[in-house]
Amino acid sequence: MGFSTEKLIANINFLMAKRGISHVTDLARQIRISQPTMHRLVSGEVKEPKYAPLKQIADFFKVSVQDLMEKNLSKEPDNETDNPVNAAAVHFTEVPIVGGAQLGNGGHWSNLQYPVGHGDGFISWPTRDPNAYALRCTGDSMKPRIKDGEYVVIEPSYQYLPGDEVLVVTKDERVMVKTFLYERDGEVMVMSVNEEHLPIRFSLAEIQNIHYVAGIAKPSLRVEY
């Protein structure tokens, strides 16, 4: 049959739905693949996926890499297709770009004050969060994790857990992407993506918002309204 990105995405969606996994991030956690890598796979950004993550996904679902890449698994008789499956477990949404973020301890968020559902174009992204939004990142303080001009996709309705990347907005308007470590005794501890930097402790009184970072999108994924 041959490989196509669309076929791979459809197979991953089908296998997720069959296993009852409703969120790409949950799949990444269970397989222990980085969230951005998994999101890039299911968003179609990666046109030539590497073997290692494909093997992890295939092993998790107990299929071969070749079948994952080349077959239509929803039509395979051994996949119990007589059971109802929600094939739309992962669907693409127009996530509005609502502002820009100069990341770092001295960074700031430029809120463009767009109404809900609108923005400076959008990122097509697999999400179930109706409140998801994207920010364009500037500066190089987050390299190599986030490059100048890339976008962070934020899912404010999704519950973040220790080890997840989060967008932290403080009441004095500092904006940063960090790894959430824990919340305890009125304090939040986060760690820089660059592990050479020491963890940072905030009091809850300092924080305006902590939102879950669903992934990082390349500038090529931006679409104008």
Among 32-41, 101-110, 147-156, 166-175, name the one with the lowest average pLDDT. 101-110
Nearest to 191 by CA among 182, 202, 180: 180
Residue ranges and CATH numbers for the domains of the chain are 5-76 (1.10.260.40), 93-223 (2.10.109.10)
Q: pLDDT tens for residues 174-183?
A: 888 888 889 9
Q: What are phi and psi of 203, to 5 degrees?
A: -80, 150
Question: CB count, 10 Å around CB of 24?
Answer: 25
DSSP state of 190: E
Residue 120: is its pLDDT beyond 80?
A: no
Q: pLDDT tens for residues 100-117?
A: 777 655 545 555 455 555
E strands present in the chain: 92-102, 108-111, 122-126, 133-138, 151-155, 165-170, 175-184, 187-192, 200-203, 207-217, 222-223
